Amino acid sequence: MSFSELGLAEPILQGVYAAGYNNPTEIQQKAIPLALEGRDIIGCAPTGTGKTAAFVLPILSTLLETANKPLKSAHPRVLVLTPTRELALQIEEAVREYGTYTDFQCTSVYGGVSINNQIRALKDGVDIVIATPGRLLDLMERRCISLSMIEHLILDEADRMYDMGFIRDVRKIAARVPHDRQTLLFSATMSREIRALIAELQRSPSYIEIGAPFSPAELVEQHFVNAPNHVKLDLLVHILLTRNVDSMIVFSKTKHGADRIDRRLNREGITSEALHADRTQSQRQMALDGFKRKDFQVLVATDVAARGIDIDKVACVVNFDTPAFAEDYIHRIGRTGRAECKGMALTFVDESELPNLKKIEFLTNKKFSVKDFPGFKMPPKPGLVQDGNSIPSAAPASPRRRQYYRKPVF
């Protein structure tokens, strides 16, 4: 099937083809025709399956078809709610790319930056607003935006908005949007809380599910590696110095941990950047842009900061810490195996993290084995006494190991 068979307006098709896309993904094939009919939609699919285009394309096409309504209105007609500023910026980029041959005005509003430029953009008039819930409520309280003309409400990454505590804000916002709107909701997982939200906000929605519930993308090869906490850094360095990995995202559960990993990798001569909430918005955007350009090999990120990363051909994801929440595991490994490219996910497991592994097995309905990493000699724990001598912490690995022949990861 091609995009031309989905009923999209010609200017939108031109934008799609100019962006280099010819064939829709499965969720796009199923969601776009229903959205064009004006139906409410629930889209449940693993990350990396093309959910953004599944709602951006039909909404742009629908706006074109309602030509009797003025563009660039002081009252926006489309509202997209999303959990993070990174994801908001990426959706804005998608709208601009697919809408190249239209006159639509789009802006994103999010926290962490000055609100004044966002207020000016709204006063100039926009058709589409992409927002994080907190910043949008701030703008609403200042009477800088009206939602009285919203025709299409999209909730992207609804599960993550719940995880981050935004659902109360989402409900407040939805209460200010006209009841006869179209509502599209997309989520990688479908919890009881999200189902309750659906019952409140949608009218007889069409349910689209791609892949088994809670299952990671099929193109991701998953491995769980025996890694006591004291060897995790050494193991990560070993993998990067001896294996053929051209791009990697490493997930850390804390900002401090992300910085510690980043410092160690750079000491070893491995190019990396850290991405977390303590970095300024410009620093975070520079890190994302640099990783896309492959200016450096490794992006070390926390869950919240990495939400919304949409980068094709990430070879490997490493869970430096086994996620405490099984849903986070799904989201993390969804950063690889995207756009029909194979990927690999490695999860380091300390003995204390085995209960977290059980949660992942329960959610994914799979049984995983924890194995030693091939070719890695497990160093003893620092401080142990052996033959009367205290064993010091392992010295940093020599960058000369980068000259070794690079093997496949597994």
Residue 284, pLDDT score: 81
Phi, psi of 286 (to 5 degrees): -65, -40
Distance, in Å, from the CA atom of 266 to the CA atom of 255, rounded to the nearest integer, reads: 17
Residue 45, pLDDT score: 81
Q: Which residues of the chain have pLDDT under 50?
A: 213, 384-405
Domain 220-376+386-403 has CATH 2.60.120.480: no
pLDDT in tens, 279-305: 877 788 888 889 989 999 999 998 765
Identify the CATH assignment for 3-209 out of 3.40.50.150, 3.40.640.10, 3.20.20.70, 3.40.50.300: 3.40.50.300
251: its two tokens: 């997930």
Which strand (E) or helix (H) includes residue 88? helix 85-98
114: its two tokens: 């000055």
Residue 382, pLDDT score: 65
- Bridge partner residues of 41 (DSSP): 184, 206
Residue 341, pLDDT score: 72
- Classified as helix, coil or strand, 374 is coil
Nearest to 158 by CA among 145, 146, 174, 147: 174
- Bridge partner residues of 344 (DSSP): 221, 316
Q: Please report, as a single letter, which amino acid is at residue 89.
A: L
277: its two tokens: 């909430």
Query: What global pTM score does this model have?
Result: 0.64
Q: Is 6 left (phi over 0), alpha (psi -120 to 50) or beta?
A: alpha
158: its two tokens: 């609804």
Query: How many residues are recorded in the chain?
Result: 410
Distance, in Å, from the CA atom of 171 to the CA atom of 197, rounded to the nearest integer, reads: 8
In the chain, ranges of CATH 3.40.50.300 domains = 3-209, 220-376+386-403
List the alpha helices (DSSP H) in 111-226: 116-124, 133-141, 158-163, 167-174, 192-201
